[in-house]
Structure 1
Amino acid sequence: MTTPEKFNNSYIVGISFVSALGGYLFGFDFAVISGALPFLRSQFNLNAVWEGFLTGSLALGCIVGCLIAGGLAEKYGRKPGLMLAALIFTVSSVAIALAGNLTVFVLLRFMAGIGVGMASMLCPMYIAEISPAEVRGRNVAINQLTVVIGILVTNLVNYFLADGGPDAWRWMFGLGAVPSVIFIFGVLWIPESPRWLIKVGQTEKANLVLHKIGSAAFASSTRLAIEQSLTGVKKQSFRAVFEKGVRPAVTVGIILAVFQQLCGINVVFNYTSTIFESVGANLDRQLFETVAIGVVNLLFTLLAMWQVDKLGRRPLMLIGSIGLSVIYIILAFLLQNQYSAGLVSVFVLLAICTYAVSLAPVTWVLISEIFPNKIRGVASSVAIVSLWAAYFVLVFTFPILAEQLGTFGPFYLYAAICLAGFLFVLFRVKETKGQTLEELEHTLVRH
């Protein structure tokens, strides 16, 4: 445990939570579509292809956001990058609420995705760089927690807005401007990353930030460590990610990122209404299920944050992948045979529980750990872009597959993917718990 004399814990947690508001807005943009879809189908006369593209357009924006966030953060600093993401969130929330046709809506949803993609990279990066090593894991986990809280709060708001008539979806999107404006003012308050300040030669400013974070001894030792870590570091290109020596670790990271999406759980998050409509649930019940999903997701994310350093990464990934495979087979059977919405709900929530304590948080932890120091930034970008591309494929194809096979059909496919993921983790993923990044680099790159 840290001591009050060494670190200014209240300040550290405060700036971590402000930065993690980007995670909350990530959760908002991710979840709002689930409550809005029943209204959007009517508003824009969506067919299966357009429903999938409208939902997935966020992911296409995320890919662009990820690709530009790293360069912006390196050239101008983490704080301006966060500010730009906050402005994009604000403008897109209001503009989507006013969208008059499908083309404009999709373009604005793509724009919102740019903000989400930037936040998904910059918020954890910023928190990691301002946090002392002893509390870094806890603080980075705050970002995942705010994502989940954003999903839950958005689902609750959607539920209460649903009786507002055919234009209820406009309020669902427009209210996202409120946390976005709070995020803007919060970013104005937080300091720039001391690591970036030292990297660009602004050592005095970095010293001021480090003295706010901790004691004089902490500030001095941290500054020295940062300066040493930057000695001889060259800018890495994307080509470095595919060098033979680092290829095994990069391959594992990309496959895990893709698997986290193609496992199918985000179909449950984004198409809750479609799933429950297929077994006869009315709109009120459909939106209630989104709230139940949000509550369970939050509770089991808290459990995961508590257990990930105790149980280890690999066991949680194995349990999650095989658990989802079994649950999906049962869920597909229930949907195929038109069992009650109540019984379907039990297995939907079991799938959420399983994902929330395993693939959801652990994949992000592994991506942050397994890449060698010299390519960590570039490799993380490649993995996260791969993750968002896989998310687009998943949510774009679900309405089309459901139309051709029935709502139950895709879940048999997701069960098979989860079984393949289980085998991949079993044979290719090593445990990383309790090892330093340098120890992991030796293990994963050389063996």
Structure 2
Amino acid sequence: MKNNSFYIFSITIVATLGGLLFGYDTAVISGAEKSVQAFLIDSQGLSTLIHGLTISSALIGCIIGGGISGIFALKIGRRKSLMIAALLFFISALGSGYPEFLFFEKGQATMGLLYMFNFYRVIGGIGVGMASAIVPMYIGEIAPENIRGRLVSINQFAIIFGMLVVYFVNWGIANGNSLEWINEVGWRRMFLSESIPAALFGLLLFFVPETPRYLALKEKDNEALAILEKINGKSRAKEILDDIKKTVEHHSGKLWSYGKLVIIIGILLSVFQQFVGINVALYYAPRIFESMGAAKDASMLQTIVMGLVNVIFTVVAILTVDKWGRKPLLMVGSIGMAVGMFAIAGLAFFEIIGTSTLVFIIVYTASFMMSWGPICWVLISEIFPNKIRGRAVAIAVVAQWTANYFISSTYPAMMEFSGAVTYGFYGLMSLLSFFFVWKLVPETKGKTLEEMETLWKK
């Protein structure tokens, strides 16, 4: 069993490099954003709208990547789909760092070069969208049921860790160098740095297996059995394969054939994960702290404090998800987020600025990181029956990236209208998420993926 545990953990660590790249690619723009603005936007006298579209262009790719992930996962398999995602990360890193490649003169900003830069960022976004759907699916299909929640939750840790790594990489590149050098060379190195973990991810994927659920779906039973034996031992492997074959053979595989509720729950899990406002807290943290009276240096320090809180409470989720279950963690997290956001709304309304604001932002982010952050991905990877999992996960992930784009892009306008109303809205969404989980989301702790079949049968 010790060897089995090591084997499962090794496979999981390789897969979660996709999560690390998800975090890395999403956050790398934070360090390079002002230099990109100076080089590609301001030098051509372009508007702030073009700047905003350029900085968020990767999110368009995320929606596309999430949408096509189901087709790729079903047609060529989970492992090969992750290899394509790794290649997209690699191409995006090189292209974003050197968008002049082949067609343009280096250092000459033109509209063509701006289009090319956006093209490479969208390519990276497609990689993020594919990885965000397929990594949890891959881990969920490999992992034994008693530790599945823990292993899928490691992916959320990898995403947060990837963000943390790139903040330090960006800082290391910029530290001690002039603004002119950063605007000319530094920002390119920030993007290029992503090529190293992307290449490592692509290389290591050659050494991990395809998931036994996918192999059984494609009638490669001997290969599926060999992997199940390595993971679960010989006697248990045969039982699991028999269960998988039953779910694969006795079902049409049409998306709505298990009823609409399972798809609706998957979509709402994704939408609530974004509508509670977490990406506003992550993307705009320094701006939030500055607007509440913190000096620029202090706001960056408070952002680092938040980053450490994120890591610590994601570990809490990893350690408790298979003991306490999915529903209790989500419901506790919803209450914590509602308390945090309603308190921030109240402070904003009375224009009270100080340590209390930081405390409630930490209450909010800690509550999210020990619940909705990782557990949403755990549930999305496991609630869908085998035969519809690839397509159903893709729909849920598209809903998630679309909700992310909507919430992130509306935040500045909402804040202009009213800070209290903005944070009150996120608090209300947190409260609604509690009732949604309580009434509709099933507990999946300790259940095999094959038991999801009976759970959703009409």
Structure 2: tracts of 5 or more residues without a match = 100-108
Equivalent residue for 1:27, pick from 16, 23, 26: 23
Give the secondary structure class of the aligned counterpart of 1:8.
helix
More deviation, 282-291/12-21? 282-291
Letter of the 1:8 partner, please give it: N
Asked if the contact 2:213–2:386 (Cα under 8 Å) also holds between the matched residues in 1, the reply is: no
Deviations 1:229-262 (A, max 9, x none): 32244342xxx33x6x622333233222111101
Deviations 1:29-61 (A, max 9, x none): 233334444555555358664565445433321
Equivalent residue for 2:392, pick from 358, 379, 383: 379
Deviation, structure 1 residue 212: 4.4
Q: Does residue 197 of structure 2 align to residue 197 of structure 1?
A: no
Q: Does residue 23 of structure 2 align to residue 10 of structure 1?
A: no
Distance change (3 Å), C-alpha of 1:139 and 1:120 = same
Match of 2:57 in 1: 57
Distance change (3 Å), C-alpha of 1:64 and 1:77 = same
Distance change (3 Å), C-alpha of 1:343 and 1:210 = same
Deviation, structure 1 residue 337: 6.4
TM-score (ref. length: structure 2) = 0.83
Give the secondary structure class of the aligned counterpart of 1:132.
coil
Match of 1:138 in 2: 150
Distance change (3 Å), C-alpha of 1:336 and 1:120 = same
Equivalent residue for 1:231, pick from 232, 245, 249: 249
More deviation, 51-60/8-17? 51-60
Distance change (3 Å), C-alpha of 1:41 and 1:341 = farther
Superposed, 1:31-430 pairs within 5 Å as: 31-40=27-36, 42-43=38-39, 44-45=41-42, 49-50=49-50, 52-99=52-99, 102-163=114-175, 164=177, 165=179, 166-167=182-183, 168-213=186-231, 215-236=233-254, 240-241=255-256, 246-334=259-347, 342-372=355-385, 374-402=387-415, 404-405=416-417, 410-430=422-442
- Distance (whole Å) between structure 2 residues aligned to residue 439 and residue 176 of structure 1: 39
Give the secondary structure class of the aligned counterpart of 2:410.
helix
- Distance (whole Å) between structure 1 residues aligned to residue 48 and residue 347 of structure 2: 23
Deviations 1:158-178 (A, max 9, x none): 344444434344333321111
- Distance (whole Å) between structure 2 residues aligned to residue 423 and residue 132 of structure 1: 30
Deviation, structure 1 residue 206: 4.0
- Distance (whole Å) between structure 2 residues aligned to residue 350 and residue 275 of structure 1: 15
Distance change (3 Å), C-alpha of 1:258 and 1:50 = farther
Asked if the contact 1:97–1:170 (Cα under 8 Å) also holds between the matched residues in 2, the reply is: yes
How many residues align? The count is 436
Letter of the 1:15 partner, please give it: I
Asked if the contact 1:48–1:400 (Cα under 8 Å) also holds between the matched residues in 2, the reply is: no
Distance change (3 Å), C-alpha of 1:229 and 1:425 = closer
More deviation, 138-147/181-190? 138-147
- Distance (whole Å) between structure 2 residues aligned to residue 295 and residue 255 of structure 1: 28
TM-align CA RMSD: 3.1
Distance change (3 Å), C-alpha of 1:248 and 1:209 = closer
Match of 2:103 in 1: none
Distance change (3 Å), C-alpha of 1:398 and 1:108 = farther
- Distance (whole Å) between structure 1 residues aligned to residue 297 and residue 128 of structure 2: 28
Structure 1: tracts of 5 or more residues without a match = none
- Distance (whole Å) between structure 2 residues aligned to residue 104 and residue 407 of structure 1: 37
TM-score (ref. length: structure 1) = 0.85
Asked if the contact 2:247–2:387 (Cα under 8 Å) also holds between the matched residues in 1, the reply is: no
- Distance (whole Å) between structure 2 residues aligned to residue 228 and residue 115 of structure 1: 33
Deviation, structure 1 residue 26: 0.9
Distance change (3 Å), C-alpha of 1:49 and 1:358 = farther
- Distance (whole Å) between structure 2 residues aligned to residue 73 and residue 396 of structure 1: 30
Deviations 1:359-405 (A, max 9, x none): 21222233344445554433322222111110111112223333x32
Deviation, structure 1 residue 267: 0.7
Deviations 1:323-365 (A, max 9, x none): 3233223324545666556553333222210111122122223
Asked if the contact 1:86–1:181 (Cα under 8 Å) also holds between the matched residues in 2, the reply is: yes
- Distance (whole Å) between structure 1 residues aligned to residue 437 and residue 210 of structure 2: 38
